[in-house]
Amino acid sequence: PISARSIGGIHIRDVLAAIAVEHEEVIDKFGGHAMAAGLSIEPEQLERFEALFDETTARLGADVLNQVRVLYTDGPLHEDDLTVENAKLLREHGPWGQGFPEPLFDDTFEVLERGTVGKGFLRYKLRKPGCKKVIAGICFDPPGGESSPDPKNEIHAVYRLAVNDYAGRQTAQLILEHIL
């Protein structure tokens, strides 16, 4: 079984229905609605399904996929607000989801250190210009992938404030959603 979520303007069930009608042998069964769906597929059909899904989504959602996406943030956080306590407050005051997104912030940071961790994730040590506090940042989907060029010494990032639970110790970290 595979589950899917959509973005505004792409009716995910219609995408699956189009694939099922045009390529009967690919999907065993499916169901859902505009924003979420599920399907059953044989493992040997997965690669073909992925290609058909990309093609069908591009065809049915071309207008949406070609639009410029707008990203709303709550602006910058003061360096004194980049704390574990505030990250916990944000985590506990959900639930976050469609129509009620988790708060995003943006700011400019000096890059003190950059490296990779895990499966090509980018790890940063950052500091707001003119400030003393150093904070960790991680980007799970780096622009250009793991081989993205090193930023100069400053980035503008859209981020979520989060708690990093590692080795029994909790620290504040920034989940870097977009690096500009």
The pLDDT value recorded for residue 171 is: 94
Tell me what the mean pLDDT of segment 121-133 comes to.
Answer: 93
Percent of the chain whose pLDDT exceeds 70 = 92
Integer CA distances (angstroms), 52 to 5, 33, 89, 115, 161, in order: 17, 19, 42, 36, 37
Q: pLDDT category, 63, cuts 50, 70, 90?
A: confident
CA-based nearest residue to 41, from 55, 58, 56, 23: 23
Asked if the model's pLDDT at residue 143 lies above 80, the reply is no
**What mean pLDDT comes out for the span 55-76?**
80
pLDDT tier at 68, thresholds 50, 70, 90? low
In this predicted structure, the answer to whether residue 29 has a pLDDT above a threshold of 60 is: yes
Half-sphere CA count of 88, side-chain side, radius 13 A: 6
Is a pLDDT exceeding 60 seen at residue 148? no
Q: Please, which pLDDT band fits residue 39 given cuts at 50, 70 and 90?
A: very high
Mean pLDDT for 145-158 is 69
Least confident among 17-26, 149-158, 170-179: 149-158
Split at pLDDT 50, 70, 90, the class of 96 is: confident
Q: Report which residue type is found at 159.
A: Y
161: its two tokens: 């404030």
Inter-residue contact 64 to 9 (CB < 8 Å): yes
User: Other C-beta atoms within 10 Å of 9: how many?
Assistant: 12
90-95 long-range contacts, CB within 8 A, separation 24+? 90/160, 90/161, 91/162, 91/163
Higher pLDDT, 168 or 144: 168
